[in-house]
């Protein structure tokens, strides 16, 4: 069922505009606090949508904000 939904998610928007699937990292990292697992984004008409991600991408995004050590 999940595969059918993902296929539908990728096909239907492509009927109306440009669609890309972007793999944000790949493989299974060894247990290492400095590494994160993969994530996937669908980009439709230059608008990105994260569709499959774990806590690693949330930590990486938070690390970009000033309260968590990121730049201004």
User: For the segment 20-30, what is each residue's pLDDT rounded down to a tens digit?
Assistant: 998 887 766 67
Domain extents in the chain: 2-68
User: For the segment 30-54, what is each residue's pLDDT rounded down to a tens digit?
Assistant: 777 777 777 888 998 889 898 887 7
SS3 content of the chain, % helix, strand, coil (to 5): 35, 25, 40
Query: How buried is 45 (Cβ within 10 angstroms: 0-12 exposed, 13-18 middle, 19+ buried)?
Result: exposed
Give this prediction's pTM. Answer: 0.54
């Amino acid at each position: 069922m999940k595969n059918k939904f993902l296929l539908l998610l990728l096909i239907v928007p492509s009927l109306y505009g440009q669609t890309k699937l972007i793999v944000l990292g790949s493989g299974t990292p060894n247990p290492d606090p400095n590494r994160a697992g993969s994530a996937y984004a669908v980009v439709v008409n230059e608008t990105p949508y994260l569709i499959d991600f774990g806590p690693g991408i949330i930590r990486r995004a938070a690390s970009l904000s000033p309260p968590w050590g990121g730049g201004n």
